């Protein structure tokens, strides 16, 4: 009897071995030989891919086919032979960016950079402002309110008093989320509090050992109680803006994007041109100066401090 093919999700990858979760269990798989052809140019399969496999033994299988991706976060890694496309995650439903209201103080330049990456990848973003217990009642809104005005959902949370935790859980369950944010903001605490079964110990280790290396990509997704997965993606930080043409950047700031048609010059950089609708909106307070400054820093290539 020939083995039945089955469909599953790639939930971890290591040195050419992929763990595939299907309805009937987990399979450790390698790629079918003919799928390896494209491997010089980039990852053929990545975390978050839906694949078809043929079981070849006890919990072992071969990946025969990779389903088309809805979307993908990837980065181009320079190699002596050219560029290599690393898949950070395939098919994420959302990107969750966690910052603290204080300890550490939020670095909005970094948040803006993450948001640009999400916009470019067409991944819906969710902002989590954690540690609300450390500041006065009005402070979280003063810090993060401008992002709701632009249209990004912002959740205010605290593991100390429980604020927003149920709501955050609702946003995570049933979805594949990539989670990012500076260290110390409470990412592991939030996940551990909401999902007591989730063991993030090894995650913390892998993150610690990846410090300073710019090539690390997420290798594992963690299942959530009630469905869905969290992928930890240190690799997101390494998505350099050199993957991006300078003139695409205004398209990844929603509040700039909706105004560029009003600029006098079609190739307006919104930095110094006369008749610029973006600069006018900054002057009249309709675009936040802080966001505009993030834009101009990224546009002029001065964003390295956020790498």
Residues that bind Zn ion (CB under 5 A): 263, 268, 270, 276, 278
- Of ligand GDP, Zn ion, none, which one sits near residue 270, judging by CB under 5 to 8 A according to partner kind? Zn ion
Could you say whether residue 135 binds ligand GDP (CB under 6 A)?
no
Q: What is the nearest approach in angstroms of ligand GDP to the Cβ of residue 162?
A: 9
Could you say whether residue 129 binds ligand GDP (CB under 6 A)?
no
Closest CA to 231 of 158, 79, 84, 123: 123
Name the segment binding ligand GDP (CB under 6 A); options: 13-21, 24-32, 57-65, 154-162: 154-162
- Of Zn ion, ligand GDP, none, which one sits near residue 244, judging by CB under 5 to 8 A according to partner kind? none
Q: What is the nearest approach in angstroms of ligand GDP to the Cβ of residue 194?
A: 12
Residue 40: Cβ-neighbour burial (10 angstroms; 0-12, 13-18, 19+): exposed
The residue assigned the tokens 């810090």 is 143
Could you say whether residue 270 binds ligand GDP (CB under 6 A)?
no
Could you say whether residue 167 binds ligand GDP (CB under 6 A)?
no
Could you say whether residue 130 binds ligand GDP (CB under 6 A)?
yes
- Contacts to ligand GDP from residues 172-201, by CB under 6 A: 181, 183-189
Rank residues 187 and 270 by Cβ distance to Zn ion and give the closer one. Answer: 270
Rank residues 78 and 104 by Cβ distance to ligand GDP and give the closer one. Answer: 104
> Helix, strand or coil for residue 212?
coil
Roughly how many angstroms between the first and final C-alpha of the chain, as a whole number?
Answer: 54
Residue 87: Cβ-neighbour burial (10 angstroms; 0-12, 13-18, 19+): buried
Per DSSP (E only), the strands in the chain are: 6-14, 17-22, 25-31, 50-57, 60-66, 72-79, 82-90, 94-100, 125-130, 154-156, 176-180, 221-223, 229-232
Rank residues 189 and 210 by Cβ distance to ligand GDP and give the closer one. Answer: 189
Angle, alpha carbons 171-176-182 (nearest 5°): 75
Rank residues 45 and 263 by Cβ distance to Zn ion and give the closer one. Answer: 263
Rank residues 179 and 263 by Cβ distance to ligand GDP and give the closer one. Answer: 179
Rank residues 151 and 184 by Cβ distance to ligand GDP and give the closer one. Answer: 184
User: Among residues 160, 165, 198, 280, which is the contact residue for ligand GDP, using CB under 6 A?
Assistant: 160
Could you say whether residue 131 binds ligand GDP (CB under 6 A)?
yes
- Of ligand GDP, Zn ion, none, which one sits near residue 239, judging by CB under 5 to 8 A according to partner kind? none
Q: What is the nearest approach in angstroms of ligand GDP to the Cβ of residue 161?
A: 8
| Rama region for 228: left / alpha / beta (φ>0; ψ in -120 to 50; rest) | left
The two tokens of residue 211 are 């410090």
Give the C-alpha separation, 204 to 191, whole Å. Answer: 12
Q: How many CB atoms lie under 10 A from the CB of residue 252?
A: 20
Which single residue brings its beta carbon nearest to ligand GDP? 186
Give the C-alpha separation, 35 to 89, whole Å. Answer: 19
What are the residues binding ligand GDP (CB under 6 A)? 130-131, 133-134, 158-160, 181, 183-189
């Amino acid at each position: 009897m020939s083995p039945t093919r089955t469909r599953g999700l790639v939930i971890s990858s290591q040195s050419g071995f992929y763990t595939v979760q299907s309805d009937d269990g987990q399979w450790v798989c390698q790629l079918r030989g003919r799928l390896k052809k494209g491997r010089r140019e980039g990852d053929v399969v990545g975390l978050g891919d839906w694949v078809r496999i043929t079981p070849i033994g006890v919990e072992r299988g071969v990946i025969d086919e990779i389903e088309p991706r809805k979307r993908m976060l990837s980065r181009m890694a320079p190699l002596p032979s050219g560029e290599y496309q690393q898949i950070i995650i395939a098919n994420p439903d959302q990107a969750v960016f966690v910052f603290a209201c204080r300890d550490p103080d939020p670095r909005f330049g970094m948040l803006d950079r993450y948001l640009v990456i999400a916009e470019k990848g067409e991944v819906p973003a969710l902002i989590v402002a954690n540690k609300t217990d450390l500041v006065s009642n009005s402070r979280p809104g003063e810090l993060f309110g401008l992002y709701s005005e632009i249209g990004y959902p912002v959740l205010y949370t605290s593991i100390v008093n429980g604020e927003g935790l149920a709501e955050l859980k609702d946003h995570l369950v049933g979805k594949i989320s990539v989670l990012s944010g500076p260290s110390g903001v409470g990412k592991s605490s939030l996940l551990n509090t909401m999902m007591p079964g989730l063991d993030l110990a090894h995650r913390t280790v892998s993150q610690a050992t990846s410090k300073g290396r710019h090539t690390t990509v997420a290798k594992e997704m963690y299942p959530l109680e009630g469905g869905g997965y969290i992928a930890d993606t240190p690799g997101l930080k390494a998505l350099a803006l050199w993957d991006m043409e300078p003139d695409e950047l205004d398209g990844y700031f929603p509040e700039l994007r909706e105004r560029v048609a009003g600029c006098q010059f079609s190739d307006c950089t919104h930095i110094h041109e006369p008749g610029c609708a973006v600069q006018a909106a900054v002057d009249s307070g309709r675009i936040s100066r802080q966001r505009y400054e993030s834009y101009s820093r990224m546009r002029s290539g001065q964003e390295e401090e956020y790498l």
